[in-house]
Structure 1
Amino acid sequence: MSNFAPNFAIVCSGQGNLSADTLAFSKIQHDGAEVIEIFSSIFSSNLYAEIGKLSQQGFNPLSQPLAVASAIANWRILKEALPIPKMFAGYSVGEVSAWGCATSLPIEQIAQIAYNRSSLMDQYAPPNSGMLAVRGIDLVKLNQHLNGGLIYVAIINEDTHFVVGGNKDELKKLAEVLTASGVWSKLLDVSVPSHTPLMVKASSEMNIYLRNSFSTTVVPCNSPVLLGINGARCTDFVVGMQSLARAIAEPIYWQHAMQTLSDSGIKVVLELGPGGSLAKMITEVHPHIAARSIADFRTPKGVVDWVLRQLDEG
């Protein structure tokens, strides 16, 4: 199928919802398995084996490539049966996935971008770092609790829903303070303070790599990608890569991306995974949008049937 759907969008998840089932959808499909094999080669590790270890070892140093590989594989399986989306968006490392889906960039090059991003972030992450999800407090009040220089707001999901990154001891202290005031928080299974100024060196090095690799490369974009740092539409791959590098050390405004989806007339959203947290968030904030994740379905046919049915009804 190649027709364009003006009210359809694809979103790509971050690494926060990886599970042992993340690659199950792609493993039995040839096109999907081929993507996983390419990523496994670039990262010199069997991603099928790594995904099986998640429940035993918690944080996985290959979480980023697992998230990107699964999304790219799932899109490769589905895209010929679905209409062309109006736009793509990605949450955190999902922005790499979004550009991989929105362009015809070879899988090897997408995997290489993911490899460099992951490696640089691991290399420059301060020791004893982490991230904390927070819900039930506004940004002004949250900022009053932050210890400048040690912890920062990293992701803005909604008016009262954030992710904070930085020193893990400071995050635990913040969690205790918030809990005492009735605010929900949860320490995430992550050891890199992504999207905070603590990652500025990784951001700078990533920008150099991307500029050297793609500044003279013409990469056609089939549909706009929403930039993580501001939710704006972008079809310029070079600009998109600059934004991707900036996002390593700057906050992600997922709230803006969701608003762009709504303002653009999007009625149907498919989340490529891993997990389904983005679809849930979108329907909570914008209930007029029908959003589901491939994690809700057993087969590619089930996914395609749902999307086409929703588009017909819309």
Structure 2
Amino acid sequence: MLGLQYFSFSDLWNPLVLALFLVVAAAYLVIVGPFSERVKDAEPATGTQKLLFLVGLAVLYLAQAGPFNLLGHVMFSFHMVSMALSYLVAPPLLMKGLPVWIWRRIARRMPAKSLSFLAHPIVAAVVFNGLFSMYHLPVVHDYVMLNFTVHRLYYIALFVTSMLMWWTLLNPLPEGRQASGLSKMGFIFLNMVLLTPACGLIIFAPQPLYATYSDPSVWAEAMRYCVSTGSSALLRSFGGPGFFNFLSSAQEDQQVGGILMKFIQEGIFISMLGYVFFQWYRKEKREDDDDPRSLDGTGEPFHSAAK
């Protein structure tokens, strides 16, 4: 149904990149396992941390080098799912999977003073969502999809800024500046609002916006970065009625992509909103119970004595 049978194993799974990801996974397990025993003040990663990191790595691979990457060059809806996996799902999993001692060493080697402004919540939200929205302007999107070096650099920039955006919510350094629960909730709402215009443009556009998904010659040119077949061979092989025939419904595919992106983003951030609110409520309740002014003469909270 998706037409994956038209592509080779190498096209679908990109073995060289898969090997690179496996090396990263193996290196991670060594560093957070046996190697951590030789590092002062380092604690081995927990089973949960290992699982989160490896799942995040797998998600990033599937989105950027596996089948989702290939399908994202064929159908706009899969492109948006790939973007959501790359920048809304993988970063928090990877961040939560790294032990604190690794984050401390990363922080020491970062040019903190010159780049610290990028980690400011509002700046991080505006930069990431701005880059994401600008990328989906038709002229920018088609240019990036047709220029491999620009494509990779832009995706790296999106990944780095997405990590900075998630830092406000998941700051893994206990000694670092932690945003309050109320600030985090406001930050989540800001991110939800900033991405809405781009999704609205995509969903309600009266015609297909992207030549990459509506012009066969442009599509074939962009596809040659994903497959070994040349653009002319792609058109000869996949131009017939046996292929997806996705070009005849490019607008519908575009609308589905915009809706999927917005629903995935809303689902992730609403879940995060619930988690932050619950954590904030528990912290406030614990502080109220520990406040001496909230205790009666017997040392019990007023609300307990009232019962």
> Shared fold by TM > 0.5?
no
Instruction: Answer with 1 or 2: which has the greater Rg.
Output: 2
Q: TM-score, normalised by structure 2?
A: 0.30
Higher relative contact order (CA 8 A, sep 6+): 1
Structure number with the higher helix fraction is 2
